[in-house]
Amino acid sequence: MPVRRLKNFFLGLFIIVVVGTLLFTYLDISQIKSYQQQLLKYNWFEPTLIACAGVLIFFGLLMFFATFKPTHKKPGLHRDYEDGHIYITRNSVEKCVYRTIQKYDQVRQPNVVAKLYNKKNKSYATVKADFFVVSETGGIQTLTDRIKSDIKENVEHFSEIPVKNIEINVRDQKTSDTRVL
């Protein structure tokens, strides 16, 4: 962001100098007539001023046409089918994962992050889920394996895009550290 501000500052300064010089040179005011004539005696002054004005016009046109370009890419996937198209957001995939995890009574406080990737013809999703498991639950590994398979099945059915990677982190209630299973 600071580089953009610096560019805008110098562009604004350039605009002020060129427009001010153009106004100073071509205004018909008797008090500054001698200064204008002195500047116009230099062979390089008028062509340089015209070139700077041309550069300003060029930047102005670039900025004008840049306003019609989208400012940001939407954080989702567009899927085209024979009978129409669909737009899938990251939020909708995360809600699908939340609903899947909520089916398990042993899981508490789930936190889900989904990322959608759009690579030419191959779109895919990755899911990362953190949650606590009730301490009396035995077989945490089998529980996480079931959750992984359910997440994969539900998200692929819902979004019709493959899930490439599912990372499940079971948080320990005592230390509140993460254990990756």
- How does pLDDT run across 56-114, given as a tens digit for each residue? 889 888 888 877 777 666 667 777 778 887 888 888 889 999 999 888 888 888 899 99
Q: In the structure, what pLDDT confidence band is assigned to residue 138 with cuts at 50, 70 and 90? A: low
Helix, strand or coil, per DSSP, at residue 57: helix
The torsion region of residue 37 among left (phi > 0), alpha (psi -120 to 50) and beta comes to alpha
- How does pLDDT run across 14-35, given as a tens digit for each residue? 888 888 888 888 788 888 888 8
Burial 125-158 (b: 16+ CB within 10 A, else e): bebebbbbbeeeeeebeebbeebbeebbebbeeb
- Residue pair 129/90 in contact by the 8 Å Cβ criterion: no
Domain co-membership, 44 together with 108: no
Q: How many domains would you assign to the chain? A: 2
Predicted pLDDT at 177: 55
Select from 56, 42, 71 the least CA-distant residue to 11: 56
Containing structural domain, residue 12:
2-66
Phi, psi values for residue 142, rounded to 5°: -70, -35
> Last residue of a domain, which of 44, 66, 88?
66
Amino acid making up residue 30: S
Residue 71 resides in a domain = no
Domain co-membership, 25 together with 86: no
Q: In the structure, what pLDDT confidence band is assigned to residue 1 with cuts at 50, 70 and 90? A: low
What is d(CA 11, CA 82) in angstroms, rounded to the nearest whole number? 48
Mean pLDDT of the chain: 82
Domain co-membership, 48 together with 94: no
> Last residue of a domain, which of 66, 92, 114?
66
Tokens 């300003």, residue located = 56
What is d(CA 81, CA 79) in angstroms, rounded to the nearest whole number? 7
Domain co-membership, 143 together with 108: yes
Domain co-membership, 45 together with 83: no
Domain co-membership, 50 together with 27: yes
What is d(CA 156, CA 144) in angstroms, rounded to the nearest whole number? 18
